[in-house]
Structure 1
Amino acid sequence: MPEPRSPMASFAQSVQNVIDGPITWFRESIVEPNQAKYNWYHQQFRRVPTIDQCYTDDAVCRFEADQQFRRDRMVDNEIVNILRQRFEDCTLYEAPDHIVKCKPLLEQYEKATENWFIKYGDLGGYANAKTAYMKQKHRLIWERRHGPVGSGMKEEAAH
């Protein structure tokens, strides 16, 4: 640190040291040595209760569930994008034998896309945890009444 040029600068420097000195010492001596060091660089959030575990009047729980839903959707989007990219890379690298050699990647990508659409499809850009939960509930009711989605409707039993 350079020497102050004037008595006023010297006074300002001493006030700065009195105020900032203990804070800097505490951070460097106590906080930083006790922090856990991780090998990853992204923030990890604790899992919060899902929307079906929240009370209807608990705004904080609903907000946390919505934030968890948004994080999960972003992660699932990235998983599908990575699988798509791997399949495209395999197709470019293995051509003209890509139909056989990239088949496992294609099946994995198609299954991930199907699962993504089951969970997030037709919800729109402003979806939240409640709308996704209602979609899941409606799908379960449909499957209970009519069988798996895409298999057609069950025939009504003759009375």
Structure 2
Amino acid sequence: MENSRNPFLRFMNSLYYVLDAPVTFFREKIIEPNQKKYPYYHQKFRRVPTIDECYTDDYVCRYEANQQFLRDKDVENEILSILRQRYEHCNNEDPNQRGEEKCESMYEYYKDAAAAWFAKYGDLGPKPHVVHAFMKQKHRMVWERRHGPVGSGYKPEYKIKPDD
């Protein structure tokens, strides 16, 4: 309470509050309520329509769908990279003991994720486009309808009609 008796400190405190009060009020009442708060450090993009929902002459929609496709590809690349790093870390954890039994489930999970990644993005080249990926998906679906799941070895028997 000695600060309140000292006239110089009282003057400095009042000057501080005169300058600080409007700034604090503005920040707490206007800036912070209107600020976008992201739970992560990166920006969250809204989902845009996929390429099958775009009209053929809507170039903006096609561009947005392609950008969304490329962002999804980057995310799935990182997921695959993290799974690979986890498996390698599991194997390198104890050099005296082979971790094949210990890391087998992790390796299976990585293999499944890699197969799914290749089914979606494999053979698209260095600059993939969403239209090519969509056509790849369409061709795969047609193949599976005709021949069964890819890799199953199922070949339907076709009956040859005798010529009349």
TM-score normalized with structure 2 length: 0.75
Taking the aligned partners of 1:37 and 1:139, their CA distance within structure 2 comes to 41
Match of 1:148, as an amino acid? P
Gaps of 5+ in 1: 1-26
Contact 1:94–1:101 (8 Å) recurs in 2: no
Gaps of 5+ in 2: 1-25
Cα distance change, pair 101–94 in 1 and its aligned pair in 2 (3 A): farther
Taking the aligned partners of 1:43 and 1:139, their CA distance within structure 2 comes to 34
Give the corresponding residue for 1:10.
none
Runs of 4+ in 1 over 6 A off after TM superposition: none
Shift of 1:150: 1.4
Contact 2:38–2:44 (8 Å) recurs in 1: no
Identical amino acids, percent of aligned pairs: 58
Give the corresponding residue for 2:93.
93
Shift of 1:155: 3.6
Taking the aligned partners of 1:54 and 1:94, their CA distance within structure 2 comes to 52
Give the corresponding residue for 2:125.
124
Taking the aligned partners of 1:94 and 1:108, their CA distance within structure 2 comes to 21
Match of 1:112, as an amino acid? A
User: How does 1:1-159 map onto structure 2 within 5 Å?
Assistant: 30-95=30-95, 96-152=97-153, 154-159=155-160
Shift of 1:104: 1.1
CA RMSD in angstroms, aligned pairs only = 1.9
Shift of 1:157: 2.4
Match of 1:118, as an amino acid? A
Taking the aligned partners of 2:49 and 2:106, their CA distance within structure 1 comes to 34
Match of 2:147, as an amino acid? H
Give the corresponding residue for 2:7.
none
Taking the aligned partners of 1:65 and 1:32, their CA distance within structure 2 comes to 33
TM-score normalized with structure 1 length: 0.78
